[in-house]
Amino acid sequence: MMLNPNKVNYNRKLAKITRKNSVFIGILMFGMIILLVVFFAPAGVQLFNMNYSHDANAYDHRIVIAGDQAILRELKAEEPEIVEVPEEYINPVDRIMSDLNGVIRKYPHHNKGLADTLYNEVKILCWVNTWPSNHKTRAKAVKETWAKRCNKVLFISTKEDPELDTVALPLKDGRQYLWSKIRGAFTYVYKNYFDEYDWFVRADDDTYMIVENLRYMLYQYDPMSPIHLGCKFKPFVKQGYMSGGAGYVLSKEALRRFVEIGIPDPKYCKQEEDEMDDVEIGKCLEKLNVTAGDSRDWNGRGRMFPFIPEQHLVTVSPKDGDFWYWKYVFYPTDDGRNCCSDRTISFHYISPQFMYTMEFLIYELKPFGLKDDEDVLPKKYDEL
């Protein structure tokens, strides 16, 4: 077949023009993209900046906010240059801090007169009820926060863990064996530590305790009197029983009666498994003539609580509603601003994250220039 030479030529020309055009359009689009990147990329970065840019943490914040891998790479390229700060600009406090050898915060009033005195006078053993699956989370947080203020702490679990230094009881995991666990734990404590301590606390691995305030409450009592204290609930036991989650404390004499007389004898303590361990120990202690004490302060405000602070302080469950707590709680208390004593001892359902937060808010954060009232010890009950 013959081709029309003119037509071929024309086609070639057309192809050439089209190629020229696409090159031109390509260059144009490329230029526009460059312009877009140059003008708008800083604005985009600004979005993720969130005004942290004055802060050394800005870089981290942006990465967390951005998330997306592409943006992450872009931001990495933006890592701020590290500038050597001239000696004269270094805050003198930084210089002092660097001399403290790893101690980051140090407050003079934490060289605590009376808290130290009570540490030696009101000797508390705390045993923390935990499980293998919580060792690295909840129990770790307890160990690193409030538990170090007990004179002795034991983590009672069902598996050994050298990192946590657990006491492993030969029991199966599960709520249905809780009553066995509580009996086993107190028996272990009694056999190994009875002589050295005056008060014996049971706490969960999501209980947070302000141990100084626990000592302050216990200071008034004689550990040789048969008493236990906690967040007291009404049902099941005539004199009331103590919520397990809020933590409770047995006097030395209460522990002795529980382990020596109560646990081995079905006349006093239930011998079968039960998951209502706090109810069972309550029944048992009542039969052993161990008083269920009142842990409220001199204003009638509670000191030991079965929920997180927020729930008692702010998000009040209506009293006329069905919420079990109002039917259980022994003393007629209020939620809201007046819920909780200035000397509150415990809260429950505290996550590990919140445990570290509580620790910071209670022990480290200090509003500048405010001074506490002079701390004064109350009279002991046998001196009244």
User: Would you tell me which residues interact with ligand NAG (CB under 6 A)?
Assistant: 50-51, 261, 288-289
Question: What is the smallest separation between the CB atom of 289 and ligand NAG, expressed in angstroms?
Answer: 4
Alpha-carbon distance of 283 to 99, in angstroms, equals: 56
- Element (DSSP H or E) covering residue 48: helix 5-49
Name which of 272, 265, 226, 269 is nearest 249 in CA terms. Answer: 226
Question: What is the smallest separation between the CB atom of 183 and ligand NAG, expressed in angstroms?
Answer: 17
Cα pseudo-dihedral 194, 182, 218, 215, rounded to 10: 90
Question: What is the smallest separation between the CB atom of 154 and ligand NAG, expressed in angstroms?
Answer: 27
What the block records as the tokens of 170 is 């030969």
Question: What is the smallest separation between the CB atom of 302 and ligand NAG, expressed in angstroms?
Answer: 28
Q: In terms of CB distance, is 22 or 53 closer to ligand NAG?
A: 53
Question: What is the smallest separation between the CB atom of 222 and ligand NAG, expressed in angstroms?
Answer: 17
Q: In terms of CB distance, is 37 or 50 closer to ligand NAG?
A: 50
Whether residue 198 contacts residue 122, with contact meaning beta carbons closer than 8 Å, is answered with yes
Whether residue 136 contacts residue 159, with contact meaning beta carbons closer than 8 Å, is answered with no
Alpha-carbon distance of 368 to 91, in angstroms, equals: 18
Please provide the DSSP assignment of 147-186 as one string. GGGSSEEEEEESS--TTTTEEE-S---SGGGHHHHHHHHH
Q: In terms of CB distance, is 33 or 50 closer to ligand NAG?
A: 50
Q: In terms of CB distance, is 71 or 261 closer to ligand NAG?
A: 261
Q: In terms of CB distance, is 51 or 120 closer to ligand NAG?
A: 51
Q: In terms of CB distance, is 265 or 375 closer to ligand NAG?
A: 265
Q: Which residues contact 21 (CB under 8 A, 6 or more apart)?
A: none
Q: In terms of CB distance, is 52 or 219 closer to ligand NAG?
A: 52
Burial level of 201, CB count in 10 A (0-12/13-18/19+)?
Answer: buried
Question: What is the smallest separation between the CB atom of 288 and ligand NAG, expressed in angstroms?
Answer: 5
Question: What is the smallest separation between the CB atom of 42 and ligand NAG, expressed in angstroms?
Answer: 14
Scanning the structure block, which residue is given the tokens 């001074």? Answer: 371
Q: In terms of CB distance, is 138 or 257 closer to ligand NAG?
A: 257
Question: What is the smallest separation between the CB atom of 51 and ligand NAG, expressed in angstroms?
Answer: 4
Question: What is the smallest separation between the CB atom of 273 and ligand NAG, expressed in angstroms?
Answer: 24
Q: Is the dihedral of CA 116, 347, 298, 367 positive or negative?
A: positive
Question: What is the smallest separation between the CB atom of 210 and ligand NAG, expressed in angstroms?
Answer: 33
Burial level of 18, CB count in 10 A (0-12/13-18/19+)?
Answer: exposed
Closest CB to ligand NAG belongs to which residue? 289
Pair type for strands 199-204 and 248-251: antiparallel
Q: In terms of CB distance, is 29 or 50 closer to ligand NAG?
A: 50
Buried b or exposed e, range 69-93, using 16+ CB within 10 angstroms: eebeebbeeeeeeeeeeeeeeeeee
Q: How many helices (H) and strands (E) does the chain have?
A: 13, 11
Q: In terms of CB distance, is 49 or 187 closer to ligand NAG?
A: 49
Burial level of 164, CB count in 10 A (0-12/13-18/19+)?
Answer: buried
